[in-house]
Structure 1
Amino acid sequence: LTTGNTAGLPAQGLTGFEELEGHNDLGQGVSSVGYTLQDINNDKVPELIFGLIDYPEGKGYYGRDIYAVYTFVDGKIKFVDEGWSRSRLRLLPQDMLSKRTCIDDNDMEWMLEMKDLLRDGSLRQGETFYTKVEDGRCNVYRKYLDVNDTFVTQKTSMHFDDMMNIDLGAQKLELLPLAEYSSRGFKGLVMQHLNCMGLHELQDNRVDLSAYEHVYVDNPSQGAEVLFSSNTSLASFEVLDLQGDSSRVIYSKGLLNPEEKLVLHLESFETDPEFDYETVIKNGICFRDDTGSLRKFAIRAKVMDGSVYLEEID
């Protein structure tokens, strides 16, 4: 793929790559593609996902549009699904694949399918939305499983644009540039290992926090309480105060191990006056990844629902 020569390769999974190459010089399209390993069917074996790198953040590369997904079943690689410009494949927050496909030549009739990847490598059909032009109007229909496990179709009051935007909240995948495979392998992927959430997001407020180490900013009263952990060791780990021109270290540890969990008592989240859909950056974390690169992440919250997330920064 990195040479631009796909002759002799299996057709499945190449549509998006070949579409990119058709709009670029040989090898140039693939330079904007990355790959990641992420377990999306909870079988403890990660899937191989190729996607379009939309933008760099900090020292990482991120994107949402997926070109191909492969899994591993009974000792063999198995193709799962692929996406391209008119058949957009994404991964929703619940690890469900969504696929938005144009089904006519006038760009008016579309279908958006949501499917689960099962452990045997097959896809289980979930909720589906599709549009249909009727009497000069574009209506949206929903197909779903009812309580009797029977698929039911109903006409909705949903607007065309609303259906087209269902997958806007898809996961932002951290990708390694395909062109760097020979030099990096799978080193440098960190986001899939980090777990960060607000204490208020816990479904069970009786969770025992005695096993957590508590880290406090100077004045945490009426602040934000955030749970942080990683499923891999993090070297040179620090919690930072990011306000002002320089980063002040609040807490540091030479090696944060996977079994260690932190409760971060931080400054309260406030809406950014310039962007009413974002919060002001006040605190963050940093560490060195397995390539030795220093990675820094701001701790932010979504204005709409208050959910906490990490955003890589320089």
Structure 2
Amino acid sequence: MKRKLFKSMWLAMLLVAFAGYGTEQNAVLPQMDLPKAEAAAKAAPAYEQEYAKVVDSVYKFIADGTSDNLPEQGRTGICEVRDFAKREAALQQLGYTLQDISGDGVPELLIGWISKKRGVGHYGKEIYAIYTFADGSVKYVAEGWSRSSLQLMANDNLVTRGGTGISHQVLAVEHLQPDGNLGCYELYFTWPKDDGLGVYRNMSCRSEADAAQETDMTVEEFNEMRSEYANNSVEIEFLPLKDFKKQGFKGLMRQYLSAGR
């Protein structure tokens, strides 16, 4: 009985951490002050003006440590970058972009790691924070960090690969809905059992342990599936954070934005 209770409690915490579900998941971010924008900036869409405040707060945090306006949600990976990378390197390799991944015609703000330069573009797969614009406000969607990789698939699904140890690994597949909430397609995780590790599947992403079903998949097959998702994730074109003050959102690939077509 104690073992079953412990398993239920642990799985509940695990699903909240890695499946993107929690009571604060889509909290509306507080309004943040910015210096007066130029006339051109004022003419930008409302979502672009609000996203600019978020990017500006990240820029200031990386540049000089100012965190007054840095969103509480979505800062884990960004804080890791500032802790382990030098200022100039962080400003160069932390990037931002706008891309409509919910299909509602309004792009999301994605902040991530630039891993390569190709031509004049900067690209990467690792996403550190995603924000959406719904009901006139910026809302937090999801985040990634060193132990919880967040990537985008070609069909705009979001894939999280994380874990709390060798025996507890998770693969979550989700999609951002037009209302700004994450919808879960499926979740796989490993869990110790008498003869080793079992691989479980949960189609509803409910936090109850009894809702998960053990699969016939081996741990090796599970790891291969995780790797396959990582290999098939798409490269995202980012603008380096260092260029934000002089460039803003200009130069983004507009074909990425349904609203810009």
TM over 0.5: yes
Q: C-alpha distance in 2, partners of 1:23/1:135? A: 40
Contact 2:200 2:212 in 1 (8 A): no
| Secondary structure at the counterpart of residue 29 of structure 1 | helix
Percent identity (aligned): 37
| Secondary structure at the counterpart of residue 12 of structure 1 | coil
Select which of 124, 127, 132 maps to 2:191: 132
Indicate the residue corresponding to 1:184 in structure 2.
247
Instruction: Please show how residues 188-199 of structure 1 align to structure 2 within 5 Å.
Output: 188-190=251-253, 193=255
Instruction: Please show how residues 26-41 of structure 1 align to structure 2 within 5 Å.
Output: 26=87, 28-41=89-102
Letter in 1 for 2:230: D
Q: C-alpha distance in 1, partners of 2:182/2:64? A: 30
Instruction: Please show how residues 1-314 of structure 1 align to structure 2 within 5 Å.
Output: 1-2=58-59, 3-8=63-68, 9-26=70-87, 28-104=89-165, 107-135=166-194, 137-144=196-203, 153-158=213-218, 159=220, 160-165=222-227, 166-190=229-253, 193=255
Contact 2:151 2:158 in 1 (8 A): yes
Structure with bigger gyration radius: 1
Q: C-alpha distance in 2, partners of 1:116/1:4? A: 35
| Secondary structure at the counterpart of residue 203 of structure 2 | strand
Question: 1:157 Cα shift?
Answer: 2.0
- Structure 1: runs of 5+ lacking an equivalent: 146-150, 195-229, 233-257, 259-314
| Secondary structure at the counterpart of residue 231 of structure 2 | helix
Question: 1:32 Cα shift?
Answer: 0.9
Structure 1 runs of 4+ with >4 Å offset: none
Question: 1:99 Cα shift?
Answer: 1.0
Letter in 2 for 1:53: I
Contact 2:159 2:172 in 1 (8 A): yes
| Secondary structure at the counterpart of residue 103 of structure 1 | strand
Indicate the residue corresponding to 1:271 in structure 2.
none
Letter in 2 for 1:36: T
Contact 1:17 1:29 in 2 (8 A): no
How large is the Cα RMSD of the aligned pairs? Answer: 2.4
| Secondary structure at the counterpart of residue 85 of structure 2 | coil
Question: 1:120 Cα shift?
Answer: 1.3
Distance 1:231 1:47, change over 3 A: closer
Q: C-alpha distance in 1, partners of 2:192/2:158? A: 26
Letter in 1 for 2:226: M
Question: 1:141 Cα shift?
Answer: 2.0
Q: C-alpha distance in 2, partners of 1:30/1:135? A: 48
Q: C-alpha distance in 2, partners of 1:4/1:139? A: 46
Structure with the larger strand share: 1
Letter in 2 for 1:59: V
Indicate the residue corresponding to 2:24 in structure 1.
none
TM-score, normalization by structure 2? 0.66
- Structure 2: runs of 5+ lacking an equivalent: 1-57, 205-210
TM-score, normalization by structure 1? 0.55
Question: 1:30 Cα shift?
Answer: 3.7
Which deviates more from structure 2 when the two are superposed, residues 70-79 or residues 9-18? 9-18
Which structure has more RCO (C-alpha within 8 Å, separation ≥ 6)? 2
Question: 1:112 Cα shift?
Answer: 1.0
Contact 1:4 1:21 in 2 (8 A): no
Contact 1:4 1:27 in 2 (8 A): no
Question: 1:144 Cα shift?
Answer: 2.1
Letter in 1 for 2:76: T
Structure with the larger helix share: 2
1:223-257 Cα shifts (integer Å, max 9, x gaps):
xxxxxxx998xxxxxxxxxxxxxxxxxxxxxxxxx
Question: 1:11 Cα shift?
Answer: 1.9
Letter in 2 for 1:114: V
Contact 2:105 2:259 in 1 (8 A): no
